[in-house]
A and B are shown apart, each in its own frame.
Chain A
Amino acid sequence: QQQVKQSPQSLIVQKGGISIINCAYENTAFDYFPWYQQFPGKGPALLIAIRPDVSEKKEGRFTISFNKSAKQFSLHIMDSQPGDSATYFCAARPGGTSYGKLTFGQGTILTVHP
């Protein structure tokens, strides 16, 4: 019940295209859903995050769509650029006193071709 399932494992997109990564969860106690971007040899960097009281959040070219009833959320990268090539992780955290206990998905390796 603590798992977060992420798909696809890898994704190849042409420059200017839309990249879409999906995640699903089971634990209804999760109340915070961040996305992280990780480049080789670096730690994950927070990209964008959402709480379940909204269905969508947009920051620049990055949008999270959230479907509470389906227990799914997704990351959309508009106008994908070669510099977006990285591994992306969705994550989830329960509310209450479980501060910081992020559960991560398995990751998606995104390659954007020029």
Chain B
Amino acid sequence: ETGVTQSPTHLIKTRGQQVTLRCSSQSGHNTVSWYQQALGQGPQFIFQYYREEENGRGNFPPRFSGLQFPNYSSELNVNALELDDSALYLCASSTRGDSYNEQFFGPGTRLTVL
């Protein structure tokens, strides 16, 4: 069984640029959630994708957008990067329909905005 993988591991961007982060869900999982974890804080829910559609969104502006592909992998896109976007971006996969809908996290992508 393959776990959740994310790419790239680290990324450095400048303010105003755009970035795309990628996530491959765990084998057998059909749902992907994205979280932002600032340094020293708990993860914050950005949004979730199921059946290639956004299914729930946290308190993040529209410049945070995503995609889910037929193979359940996902992308997180952030436009017009701001310094406060510097964080660890985590992807979690789960199986909708599972009674606990347990989420399994990837190792994250560390984004630094200069």
Whether A32 touches B103, Cβ cut-off 8 Å, given contacts A89-B43, A99-B56, is: no
B53 within 8 A of A: no
A52 within 8 A of B: no
Interface size of B as a range: 20 to 34
Q: Which of A34, A49, A101 contacts B56 (CB 8 A)?
A: A101
In contact, A100 and B100 (Cβ under 8 angstroms)? no
A73 to B43, CA, bound (A): 19
A6 to B102, CA, bound (A): 21
In contact, B58 and A101 (Cβ under 8 angstroms)? yes
In the bound complex, residues from chain B placing their C-beta under 8 Å from that of A99 are 31, 48, 50, 55-56, 94, 96, 101
In contact, B42 and A106 (Cβ under 8 angstroms)? yes
Q: Which residues 66-114 in A have Cβ within 8 Å of B in the complex?
A: 89, 91, 93, 97-107
A100 to B48, CA, bound (A): 7
In contact, A43 and B42 (Cβ under 8 angstroms)? no
In the bound complex, residues from chain A placing their C-beta under 8 Å from that of B78 are none
Q: Which of B40, B41, B92, B106 contacts A100 (CB 8 A)?
A: B92
In the bound complex, residues from chain B placing their C-beta under 8 Å from that of A42 are 107-108
Q: How far is the CB of A104 from chain B (nearest CB, A)?
A: 3
Interface residues of B (CB under 8 A from A): 4, 31, 33, 35, 40-45, 48, 50, 55-56, 58, 90, 92, 94, 96, 100-108
7 contacts between A and B (CB under 8 A): A43-B92, A51-B100, A100-B31, A102-B43, A102-B45, A107-B41, A107-B42
Interface residues of A (CB under 8 A from B): 6, 32, 34, 36, 41-46, 49, 51, 89, 91, 93, 97-107
